[in-house]
Amino acid sequence: MKKWWKEAVVYQIYTKSFYDTNGDGIGDLRGIIEKLDYIQALGTTVIWLNPIYSSPDVDNGYDIADYQSIDERYGTLEDFKELLAEAHKRGIRLIMDMVLNHTSDEHMWFQESRKSKDNPYRDFYIWRPAKDGKEPNNWGNYFYEGKGSAWEYDESTGEYYLHNYSKKMPDLNWDNPRLKEAMCQMMRWWLDLGVDGFRMDAVNRLVKPKGLPDSPNPPTPPVGIYGYVVDRTMCANCPGIHQLLHELNQEVFGRYDIMVVGETGNVDAAIAIDYVKEERQEIDMVFHFEIAKNPVLKTAAQIKEIQRRWYHVVEQHGWITQYLSNHDTPRQVSWFGDDETYRYESATMLALMTHTHPGTVYIYQGEEIGMTNVDFPSIDYYNEKYTVGKYHTMVESGVDPETALNSLKKTSRDNDRTPVQWNSREHGGFTTGTPWINANPNYKEINVEKEEQAERSVLRFYRTLTAMRREHPVMVYGSYEQILEDHPELIIYKREYQGEAWLVICNFYGREQIMPKEALKELEKGDARLLLGNYQGGETTERIRPYEARIYRCR
């Protein structure tokens, strides 16, 4: 079925690092308003905002203290309404990040909850007494915080509360109907304001396993020295989650013309279909972690295998997402491409590949100018919880600090959180003050202004791709069939829709390839012509250059 959100190209904005208008070093909503024309010119049709609610900011806003107010560092509710109106004026929709798994410990609900066992908000969270004088189970928190347990003892009532993430982010209890009702009301409030949907944080973890059993797995190093198990499967896809999402759909999502995308770690295509199959009325699509945010770099062969499996979700009347990076991953050109010799070629190849696969496309801010990973000299420059927490646990358990830092650099989430590089002025023109996190020192070479001026630029290539999506429904609704599934370096596939047929060829590596005869055969069938390529001329049907990517129209 045709839907606006299938056709969308979403631009993800991490407000804190986007653009600062008042010199406090923190990006803000007015900064987004100022850059709306840029976003529109990029051809993106939806903005996804990372959390901008009031928050003590221990996890960059994912620790929400008040769901219905804007954090003052980002602006006011008036600014937000203006942003929404200005975006809508330009034909751009806006979705909010919705964090329902936990709140900040500074949320009023938790403040009440911890007061006494009979407080009306007690059951908004998950409290348990000690077991044999210890934590209620062996779960470790995902942030490797403190001694590693996912339970924090609270003196006021002598019980532990569950926090899968930071101890300042207590997990909510979705078995409680009052919590559910409060959340539904809150979400309807945003939708009534005019927002166009949600990106649902950790949404497959809302329901916990019955009885909160121990993880059967061995303790996780380096936290293992304390004996806790960081096991993200424990709370993923537990019985009851589908019923809950269906209820949220009936109570909220299904009543509006919106899009809902769930962030779902520990989900493969076979599991995903139950979340996104149209007739089930849960959510519209999910972000899986099989390609991006996987600590192991995927090969071309693996990516093809993953894409084939996920395409079955589309065939079974579900929908999928295409993205290679977000605020939780390294920069895609550094991770999958070559950010030195072939920065332009690999950044554009990755873009072409993402935009020509079936699914809604997501661009993470800065990706469109080929921003790269950062190489900070010491841990003091890093900010995000996984990196800092893991670093300290490693050093404490005897790992040499330099080794610890080097092992974390490549995958740190801060790679994606450095400020957007607008021009070659100080801090990349992000702020006139001191940025909350240092800019990548390469801002003089890589920035929006330069990309605008250059004839051959990553930014221009992105604009071409988004424009093509508006003209060629085959990019959205076309069938998808790989050829040469086993080719270890090339990713080649056909897309077909209503008489239009494409052949897409991506060289996933920095080595030149021979054009396979199977691809040639496809090209010879019709009168194939090149629609788009990331080299300027010199295409031959004999060879494919490093990171070269081409779209041929065969019919």
* Segment lying near Ca ion (by CB under 5 A), choices 19-27, 248-256, 314-322, 405-413: 19-27
In the bound complex, which residue of the shown chain has the CB atom lying closest to ligand GLC?
Answer: 62
Task: Give min distance, CB of 199 to ligand GLC, in A.
Answer: 9
Q: Give the one residue of 7, 22, 496, 539 binding Ca ion; rule: CB under 5 A.
A: 22
Specify which residues 197 forms β-bridges with: 259
Residue 555 to residue 534: CA distance in whole angstroms: 21
Nearer to Ca ion, 17 or 372 (CB): 17
Task: Report which residue type is found at 346.
Answer: S
Task: Give min distance, CB of 35 to ligand GLC, in A.
Answer: 22
Q: Give the one residue of 18, 62, 336, 462 binding ligand GLC; rule: CB under 6 A.
A: 62
**Encoded tokens for 127:** 């409290």
Per-residue binding string, ligand GLC, 259-278, x by CB under 6 A, is ----x---------------
Q: Give the one residue of 5, 10, 28, 336 binding Ca ion; rule: CB under 5 A.
A: 28
Question: Residue 99 touches which of ligand GLC, Ca ion, none (CB < 5 to 8 A by kind)?
Answer: ligand GLC
Question: Residue 548 touches which of Ca ion, ligand GLC, none (CB < 5 to 8 A by kind)?
Answer: none
Q: Give the one residue of 49, 99, 179, 350 binding ligand GLC; rule: CB under 6 A.
A: 99
Number of Cβ within 10 Å of residue 341's Cβ equals 12
Nearer to Ca ion, 30 or 168 (CB): 30
Question: Residue 62 touches which of ligand GLC, Ca ion, none (CB < 5 to 8 A by kind)?
Answer: ligand GLC
C-alpha count within 13 angstroms, C-beta hemisphere, residue 44: 27
Residue 419 to residue 413: CA distance in whole angstroms: 13
Q: Indicate the helix (H) or strand (E) that contains 154.
A: strand 151-154
Nearer to ligand GLC, 263 or 414 (CB): 263
**Residue 20 binds Ca ion, judged by CB under 5 A:** yes
Instruction: List strands edge to edge, sheet with 159-162.
Output: 127-128, 159-162, 151-154
Nearer to ligand GLC, 345 or 416 (CB): 416
**Residue 201 binds ligand GLC, judged by CB under 6 A:** yes
473 vs 112, 148, 319, 496, CA distance in Å?
Answer: 52, 49, 15, 10
Contact criterion met (CB below 8 Å) for 519 and 371 = no
Burial class (CB in 10 A: 0-12, 13-18, 19+), 402: exposed
Angle between helices 458-471 and 343-355 (to 10 degrees): 20
Number of residues in the chain: 555
Task: Give min distance, CB of 291 to ligand GLC, in A.
Answer: 16
Smallest CA-to-CA distance from 185 within 241, 252, 94 is with 252
Residue 33 to residue 44: CA distance in whole angstroms: 15
Q: Give the one residue of 10, 26, 162, 273 binding Ca ion; rule: CB under 5 A.
A: 26
Number of Cβ within 10 Å of residue 446's Cβ equals 22
Residues with a catalytic annotation lie at 201, 263
**Encoded tokens for 553:** 């129209």
**Residue 202 binds ligand GLC, judged by CB under 6 A:** yes
Smallest CA-to-CA distance from 173 within 127, 120, 124, 101 is with 124
Nearer to ligand GLC, 102 or 495 (CB): 102
Q: Give the one residue of 14, 144, 165, 323 binding ligand GLC; rule: CB under 6 A.
A: 165
520 vs 127, 511, 528, 535, 541, CA distance in Å?
Answer: 63, 19, 10, 19, 7
Task: Give min distance, CB of 298 to Ca ion, in A.
Answer: 37
Residue 231 to residue 228: CA distance in whole angstroms: 9
Task: Give min distance, CB of 30 to Ca ion, in A.
Answer: 8
* Segment lying near Ca ion (by CB under 5 A), choices 27-35, 157-165, 245-253, 388-396: 27-35
Nearer to ligand GLC, 201 or 451 (CB): 201
Nearer to ligand GLC, 166 or 307 (CB): 166
**Residue 339 binds Ca ion, judged by CB under 5 A:** no
Residue 106 to residue 100: CA distance in whole angstroms: 15
Q: Give the one residue of 328, 339, 414, 522 binding ligand GLC; rule: CB under 6 A.
A: 328
Contacts with Ca ion, residue ranges (CB under 5 A): 20, 22, 24, 26, 28
Contacts with ligand GLC, residue ranges (CB under 6 A): 59, 62, 99, 165, 201-202, 263, 327-328
